[in-house]
């Protein structure tokens, strides 16, 4: 058991219990007091972001705060009150995606392309997480503190649905990153090469997408696996066979979490490329297909 130790001049967070005469009857030390450190670290992050990103820092901070507030103040309380966790997560994730992508990319075809790509990926990942979780027979009690929810009066919660929702919520950030990168690249290609055909634009976007997916999938793997580093090390240290390890529900759940997220991330690429090809290319399907009026005007210009 981990024992908390305190030394002189350190601050601790304590809970005071008062008796009927309003006199302190018990003092219980909770943990080290860290609020001041959190404020300092947050302030440094804000200053650092403003120095490096300039005016874009305001958008970054707004999206950061908005995402945290919507999750903590809207989605989680609704789930505690019995609202369907999967449906709520889809709605909230879509809302966060819209705010982030349109704030960063602007109310433009680029932002809309990124949003459609992200939304498609989120919906696909939500459906896949539902199917694969049932297929693997994974229950929801594989996350820290989930059992505590049941024992504190929330036995009505569907913890399996919470697990499913967590899969596409966790992957949605990478999806937004990937879709915006692809949409921005395609938009820049179109600006630099106005005469590019729609099919050429889609092919160029897909080249960008393939490069990005490779790094983003590894990012998900590293981010998810880091949470259970100690658990995997314990299994390895005890000499447990690999087949035994991967069939444990805690490990299987992480495999599902990672692979389903990577599935969704991979499909965000073609979804965004197609949306970008349709929205960012304002001309006909092929640049060679021009109207009769344009051809006549060109012929008249050449004659002059």
Give pLDDT tens digits for 206-263: 888 887 887 777 777 777 777 777 878 888 888 888 888 888 888 888 888 888 988 8
For residue 290, name the pLDDT band (cuts at 50, 70, 90).
very low
Q: Which pLDDT does position 89 carry in this prediction?
A: 92
Give pLDDT tens digits for 89-122: 999 999 999 999 998 878 888 899 999 999 999 9
| Rg of the chain on CA atoms, in Å | 26
- Give percent of the chain above pLDDT 90: 22
C-alpha separations of 114 from 100, 102, 171, 270, 279 in Å = 10, 9, 15, 11, 10
Q: Which pLDDT does position 229 carry in this prediction?
A: 79
User: Going by C-beta distance under 8 Å and a sequence separation of 6 or more, which residues neighbour residue 263?
Assistant: 124, 125, 128
The chain-wide mean pLDDT, for the chain, equals: 83
Q: Which pLDDT does position 125 carry in this prediction?
A: 93
Using the predicted structure, report yes or no on whether residue 15 has a pLDDT greater than 90: no
- In sequence order, the β-bridge partners of residue 17 are 26
What's phi and psi for 58, nearest 5 deg? -60, -45
Q: Which pLDDT does position 14 carry in this prediction?
A: 87
Angle, in degrees to the nearest 10, between helices 85-105 and 56-70: 170
């Amino acid at each position: 058991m981990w024992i908390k130790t305190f030394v002189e001049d350190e601050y601790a967070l304590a809970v005071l219990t008062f008796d009927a005469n309003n006199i302190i009857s018990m003092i219980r030390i909770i943990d080290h007091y860290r609020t001041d450190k959190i404020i300092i670290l947050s302030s440094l992050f804000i200053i650092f972001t403003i120095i490096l990103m300039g005016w874009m820092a305001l958008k970054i901070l707004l999206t950061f705060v908005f995402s945290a507030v919507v999750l903590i103040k809207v989605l989680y309380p609704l789930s505690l009150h019995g609202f369907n966790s999967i449906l709520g997560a889809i709605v909230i994730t879509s809302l966060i995606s819209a705010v982030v992508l349109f704030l960063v990319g602007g109310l433009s075809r680029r932002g809309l392309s990124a949003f459609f790509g992200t939304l498609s990926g989120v919906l696909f990942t939500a459906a896949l997480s539902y199917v694969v979780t049932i297929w693997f027979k994974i229950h929801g009690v594989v996350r820290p503190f989930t059992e505590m929810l049941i024992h504190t009066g929330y036995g009505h919660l569907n913890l399996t649905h919470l697990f499913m929702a967590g899969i596409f919520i966790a992957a949605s950030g990478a999806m937004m990153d990937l879709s915006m990168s692809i949409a921005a690249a395609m938009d820049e290609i179109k600006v630099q090469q106005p005469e590019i055909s729609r099919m050429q634009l889609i092919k160029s976007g897909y080249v960008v997408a393939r490069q990005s997916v490779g790094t983003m999938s590894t990012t998900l793997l590293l981010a998810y696996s880091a949470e259970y580093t100690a658990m995997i090390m314990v299994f390895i240290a005890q000499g447990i066979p690999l087949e035994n390890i991967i069939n444990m529900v805690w490990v299987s759940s992480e495999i599902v979490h990672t692979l389903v997220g990577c599935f969704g991330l991979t499909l965000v690429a073609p979804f965004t490329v197609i949306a970008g090809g349709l929205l960012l290319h304002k001309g006909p399907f092929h640049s060679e297909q021009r109207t009769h009026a344009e051809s006549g005007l060109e012929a008249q210009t050449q004659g002059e």
